[in-house]
Amino acid sequence: MRLSGKVVLLTGATGGIGQATAELFAREGASLVVTDVGSEAVEKLAARLETDVLADRLDVSSPENWRETVERTRRRFGRLDVLVNVAGIVDWPGIEETAPDAWDRVIAVNQTGTWLGMKTAMPLLRASGNGSVVNTSSVLGLVGSGAAAAYQASKGAVRLLTKTAAVEYATRGVRVNSVHPGVIATPMIQDLLDEQGDQQPDIVRTPMRRAGSPAEVAHAMLFLASDESSFVTGTELVVDGGLTAY
C-alpha cells in the first residue's frame, strides 16, 4: 500500500506501460484517474481495476481536454497527488524522411502533451503539499540512434522540461522526475520483436540481452510516485537493461 491515500492521474493508460502502471498503482492503494484517447478501451481498463477509479477520454495535445480532465478529477476526488505522463507515439523515419505532419503530431503528443499536463495539473498538485510528477522519456531522450528524428527530439525535450520543472517547483511541494525505458515489450515495438526476436539490434546491444517488461517500468514509476523518493527530483531513472551503460 505504498500509494495509500494518494490520487493519481495517468495518461496513456491503455498502452503496455500505462496498463501495467495502472494495475500496480491500484494494488498499491492509489485512487486513479485513468485516461487515453480511446474512451471504450479506458472504460474497460477501469472496470478491471480494484480501486476507486475515474475513467476519462483525454487527448493530451488538447488544452481543453486537459482542463476538463483535471476539473473532473477535482470534482471527483477533491485533490491530486501524482501525475504520470505516459501517453506517447513514435515515428521511425530519420531527418530527411520525416514528414512535417508526422513531426508535428509526435511533438504535439509527446512534448506538448507532457507540458500541458504539468501546466494544467500543477495547481492541484501544489495544493496537495507533497505532489509528484513522473514524465516518460526514453533512452532515445539520452542517446542518438540515427533514426526516429521526431521521437528523439520529443523525448530529449521531455528530459529537460522535467529538469526545469523540478527546479521551479522544488520548494513548492512538487517533485518532478523522468523515467527512461529502453527496449520494452509493448505494442509500440511488438512488430519488431516478433520479426527479429532476440536478434533485434537494440536487444543485441543490451547487456542483459532481453527486452524489459512493462511491469519493470511500472515499478520504477511507483518509486518516483511514492514518498520513498521524497528527496529525489529532477533525476532520470533509466530502465534499459544496461543499454546506455556502454
Which residue among the candidates 66, 77, 151, 169 is catalytic per the annotation? 151
Residues 219/2, Cβ–Cβ less than 8 Å: no
- Dist. CA 88–CA 13, nearest whole Å: 11
Please report how many Cα atoms fall inside a 13 Å half-sphere around the Cα of residue 21, on the Cβ side.
35
CA contacts within 13 A on the Cβ side of 199: 2
Q: For the sheet containing 31-36, what is the strand order?
A: 53-57, 31-36, 7-10, 82-85, 131-136, 174-181, 236-239
C-alpha cell at 187: 505494442
Contact by Cβ (8 Å): 113, 86 = no
Residue 51 CB neighbours (<10 A):
17
DSSP single-letter state for residue 146: S
Nearest C-alpha neighbor of 181 from the set 158, 146, 154, 214: 214
Decide if 151 is catalytic. yes
Active site residues: 151
